[in-house]
Amino acid sequence: MSSEGANKIVQEIVRVADVQVTEILQEARIGTEAIRRDAEKRAESEKQTILVKGQQLAERERQRVLADAKLRVKREIFDAKEDLIKEAFGEAEKRLARLADTLEYSDILGKLIVESGVVVGGGSLEVLAREQDRSLLPKDTLASLSKEISKTTKKKTTLSLSEKTIATIGGVIVRSKDGAIEADNTFKSRTSRLRSELRFKVAEILFGGAS
């Protein structure tokens, strides 16, 4: 083989090698660009995910702070209402205590006895009153009240004054002779029941339920 032929072969090998190197480099550049674009897409996607999560967390925190603030305001209003209720009932109890020293108290006492006797259901009943109220409940008065209870309950009723007295600002307790059923109609008990009812209504208005 002449030197000229050998050179041609070498040149052809070099040319083919150059072509292959160029192709490899192009493929490498294309692969690198694809990897870069893919990485950029993933980075952008992760960025958006982080942003969305951050916004969600911020919104949840905002809602939590707002809910806490609303609850705190409701609680403050409730406490203010409670203070007003306590003040009102304190004044009411003072007035009731003064009422027990008036002339109309005797009639009030009779109405409370009848109301209590009806609640108990009539029958053989005894009345528990304050020591100072015993003189307002003689036998003839109790007999008259017994008839009223009998008329309402449709059950023969007899009232007797218990030897036991109660410490209260006014009102009475009526119970069956065996002590199985009792109706507490003292002023303190009545105001206590009313206070509970008002407290429930206040809680229902402010919180949608009792507190």
Whether 99 contacts 170, CB under 8 Å = yes
- Can you give the pLDDT at residue 207? 66
The structure's pTM equals 0.58
Cβ–Cβ < 8 Å for 150, 156:
yes
**pLDDT value at residue 3:** 66
Query: Would you state the pLDDT for residue 51?
Result: 67
Q: Quote the pLDDT of residue 191.
A: 86
How many C-beta neighbours within 10 Å does residue 170 have?
A: 24
The amino acid present at 124, given as its one-letter code, is S
pLDDT at position 163 is 93
Give the pLDDT score at 55.
76
Q: Identify the pLDDT of residue 208.
A: 64
Q: What is the CATH number of domain 100-199?
A: 3.30.2320.30
Q: What is the pLDDT along the chain (211 residues), one digit of tens a residue?
A: 566 766 777 677 767 667 776 777 777 677 777 777 776 777 677 767 876 777 787 788 788 877 888 888 878 887 887 777 777 777 777 888 888 888 899 999 999 999 999 999 999 999 999 999 999 999 999 999 999 999 999 999 999 999 999 999 999 999 999 889 999 999 989 888 888 787 777 667 766 654 4
Strands laid side by side in the 171-176 sheet:
158-165, 124-129, 171-176, 182-186
Residue ranges covered by each domain of the chain: 1-74, 100-199
